[in-house]
């Protein structure tokens, strides 16, 4: 192990700070609508292109059929056979399980809340994310921006069991993308799997989704009454004007569109179904649905001052509360405009992150950090033993824009080093105090570090000593976040375990 003196501390801080800025520049890649294009009306030309051949095709949809009857009898024609083999990341142990649920095309991947282990049956919501992809990735465990929370994490954060299904053609699943057709069958299969779990109440399984996922959820509500209630954010009415470049079916056949457009089947909704969209989002779609519907099971809400994304964080929390309170034999959920307005005016909530245990056995060190953070060994001959921890994403939140560095070293000054560091930090304008971490004495400080680019970063710092070895935890977050990240940092420090280095 390299030895270093405390006078090198200031130079190291600046180097680490520059590293922290560079470490968070990897763009997020998930199956969600990151730019809103999947549901905005960018493609105004009808996707049918006026093909005369469509008039010669025999009708598959018979007059008087319900959506379920028409859907089950319809044979979709795929113009392209698209799929992907994107891997499914392992979920946090004890929070979610990675499972396979059976469907008409074969077994499909899903994340499902782990068994609480209390012997009780619990409500569950199946959450369908936006975007045209059919896969899942680590988005449920990413930490969202308040104005764009597509994760559905409000449900399991509130204690509602949650299932995130992938669909045919995604994540190496059998089948191909069917653009809102076969995926409806997969949602029903996801329900059957959820209902079979011994810790799930089969009478309290809900369905929700956003954007393309909201359209899928609405179609599923038109297909089946199995769900206790359905919550659809940002669904479309007719799909023919929406992103036809993503469609995999025969675009010359009008009936292909009809089977994928919820507005034609509104009368078939039997479960309470709540449709929500921001005024500045796809509200025209929602209003057309509202005008066309005479179904008392459909409830429509256009939210003033909101867009396609900003309704999600506050209103999924409202929905989660409604689900937890819906404990009777039959559904008893109602949502008022006043409740929506109050939720939209609420202060942003910083959710508790899913944590992972980091154990570095050779150093006798263990602690917790956010589950999605990368832990990289950045040790060098000059800098000694060091680990860099950061998010690979760049969301506008405290987890994606923070970084922490853990260093382990010895010093020449020995026992007096903690006191020296406390004095040095105070001289640099930090507020320092003695502390105890993992049963060992240490010093903890907070201050501001300026970068060469002119930005200021809040710096939280802890140094602890055991058996002559020093363990340093150095955390940075941009000053714009104020003290929002302090509880996260403190939870990591409180989790530190020191067993000591074994020779």
Residues 321 and 363 in one domain: no
Grade residue 446 by pLDDT with cuts at 50, 70 and 90: very high
pLDDT for res 43 = 43
Residues 287 and 320 in one domain: yes
Does residue 2 surpass a pLDDT of 90?
no
Please give the Cα distance from 270 to 222 (Å, whole number).
7
Alpha-carbon dihedral of residues 362, 363, 367, 372, nearest 10 degrees? Answer: -60
Does residue 13 surpass a pLDDT of 50?
no
Residues 319 and 358 in one domain: no
In a domain, 52, yes or no: no
Residues 142 and 255 in one domain: yes
Mean per-residue pLDDT for 84-92?
Answer: 96
- Mean pLDDT over each residue of the chain, to the nearest integer: 88
Query: Which of 309, 344, 379 represents a domain boundary (last residue)?
Result: 344
- What CATH code is carried by the domain that includes residue 265? 3.40.50.1820
**What is the number of domains present in the chain?**
2
In a domain, 56, yes or no: no
Residues 323 and 436 in one domain: no
Segment holding 400, helix H or strand E: none
In a domain, 163, yes or no: yes
Tell me which DSSP letter residue 301 carries.
E
In a domain, 57, yes or no: no
Residues 113 and 251 in one domain: yes
Q: Which of 191-205, 246-260, 373-387, 463-477 has the lowest mean pLDDT?
A: 373-387
Alpha-carbon dihedral of residues 425, 428, 429, 430, nearest 10 degrees? Answer: -20
pLDDT for res 142 = 81
In a domain, 178, yes or no: yes
Whole-number CA gyration radius for the chain: 26
pLDDT for res 8 = 29
Residues 371 and 339 in one domain: no
Query: Which of 344, 379, 403 represents a domain boundary (last residue)?
Result: 344
Percent of the chain having pLDDT more than 70?
A: 88
Does residue 22 surpass a pLDDT of 60?
no
Does residue 32 surpass a pLDDT of 70?
no
pLDDT for res 255 = 97
In a domain, 47, yes or no: no
In a domain, 48, yes or no: no
Mean per-residue pLDDT for 351-375?
Answer: 92
Closest CA to 314 of 127, 149, 123: 149
State which residues form the domain around 191: 62-344
pLDDT for res 108 = 98
Query: Which of 344, 361, 382 represents a domain boundary (last residue)?
Result: 344
Grade residue 35 by pLDDT with cuts at 50, 70 and 90: very low
Where are any strands of DSSP class E within 184-297? 200-210, 230-233, 273-278
The three-class DSSP label of residue 14 is helix
- Six token digits for residue 193: 């799997």
Residues 123 and 175 in one domain: yes
Residues 329 and 457 in one domain: no
Residues 375 and 281 in one domain: no
Q: Which of 68-72, 120-124, 164-168, 245-249 has the lowest mean pLDDT?
A: 245-249
pLDDT for res 503 = 57
Backbone angles phi, psi at 11, to 5 degrees: -65, -40
Where are any strands of DSSP class E within 200-272? 200-210, 230-233
pLDDT for res 500 = 80
Give the number of other Cβ atoms within 10 Å of residue 93's Cβ: 11
Does residue 498 surpass a pLDDT of 50?
yes
Q: Decide: 404 and 382 in contact? Cβ < 8 Å.
A: no
- Six token digits for residue 392: 């690979």
Q: Which residues pair with 106 in a beta bridge?
A: 103
In a domain, 30, yes or no: no
pLDDT for res 246 = 85
pLDDT digits (tens, 9 = 90+) for 293-352: 999 999 999 999 999 999 999 999 999 999 999 999 999 999 999 999 999 999 998 887
Mean per-residue pLDDT for 147-154?
Answer: 93
pTM (whole model) above 0.75:
yes
- What CATH code is carried by the domain that includes residue 469? 3.40.1000.10
Grade residue 56 by pLDDT with cuts at 50, 70 and 90: low
Please give the Cα distance from 322 to 325 (Å, whole number).
5
Residues 336 and 401 in one domain: no
Mean per-residue pLDDT for 280-298?
Answer: 97
Does residue 48 surpass a pLDDT of 60?
no
Residues 130 and 205 in one domain: yes
Please give the Cα distance from 293 to 109 (Å, whole number).
35
pLDDT for res 429 = 96
Q: Decide: 193 and 234 in contact? Cβ < 8 Å.
A: no
């Amino acid at each position: 192990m390299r030895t270093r003196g405390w006078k090198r501390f200031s130079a190291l801080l600046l180097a680490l700070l520059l590293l922290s800025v560079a470490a968070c520049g990897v763009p997020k890649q998930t199956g969600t609508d990151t730019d809103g294009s999947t549901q905005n009306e960018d493609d105004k030309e009808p996707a049918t292109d006026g093909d005369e051949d469509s008039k010669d095709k025999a009708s598959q949809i018979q007059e008087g059929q319900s959506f379920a009857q028409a859907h089950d009898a319809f044979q979709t024609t795929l113009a392209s056979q698209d799929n992907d083999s994107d891997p499914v990341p392992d979920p946090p142990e004890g929070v979610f399980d990675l499972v396979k649920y059976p469907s008409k095309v074969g077994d499909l991947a899903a994340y499902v809340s782990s068994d609480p282990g209390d012997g009780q049956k619990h409500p569950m919501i199946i959450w369908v994310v936006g975007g045209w992809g059919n896969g899942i990735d680590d988005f449920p465990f990413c930490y969202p921006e308040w104005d764009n929370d597509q994760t559905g994490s409000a449900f399991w954060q509130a204690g509602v069991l949650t299932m995130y299904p992938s669909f045919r053609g995604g994540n190496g699943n059998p089948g191909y993308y069917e653009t809102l057709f076969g995926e409806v069958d997969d949602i029903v299969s996801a329900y059957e799997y959820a209902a079979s779990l011994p810790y799930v109440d089969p009478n309290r399984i809900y369905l929700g989704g956003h954007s393309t996922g909201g359209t899928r959820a609405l179609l599923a509500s038109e297909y089946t009454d199995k769900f206790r209630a359905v919550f659809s954010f940002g669904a479309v009415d007719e799909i023919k004007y929406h992103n036809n470049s993503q469609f995999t079916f025969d675009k010359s056949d009008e009936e292909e569109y009809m089977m994928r457009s919820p507005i034609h089947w509104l009368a078939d909704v039997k479960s309470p179904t709540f449709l929500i969209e921001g005024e500045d989002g796809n509200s025209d779609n929602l209003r057309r649905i509202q005008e066309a519907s005479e179904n008392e099971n459909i409830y429509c809400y256009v939210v003033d001052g909101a867009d396609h994304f900003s309704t999600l964080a506050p209103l999924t929390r409202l929905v989660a509360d409604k689900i937890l309170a819906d404990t009777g034999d039959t559904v008893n959920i109602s949502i008022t405009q006043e409740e929506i307005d109050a939720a939209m005016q609420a202060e942003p909530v910083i959710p508790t992150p899913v944590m992972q245990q980091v154990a570095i056995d050779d150093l006798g060190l263990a602690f917790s950090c956010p589950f999605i953070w990368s832990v990289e060994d950045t040790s060098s001959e000059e800098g000694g033993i060091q680990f860099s921890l950061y998010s690979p994403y760049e969301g506008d939140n405290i987890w994606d824009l923070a970084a922490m560095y853990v260093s382990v070293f010895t010093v020449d000054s020995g026992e007096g080093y903690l006191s020296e560091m406390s004095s040095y930090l105070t001289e640099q304008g930090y507020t320092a105090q003695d502390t105890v971490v993992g049963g060992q004495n240490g010093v903890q400080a907070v201050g501001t570090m300026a970068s060469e680019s002119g930005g200021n970063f809040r710096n939280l710092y802890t140094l602890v000593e055991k058996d002559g070895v020093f363990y340093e935890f150095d955390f940075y977050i941009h000053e714009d976040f104020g003290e929002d990240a302090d509880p996260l940092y403190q939870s990591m420090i409180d989790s530190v375990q020191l067993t000591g280095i074994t020779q």
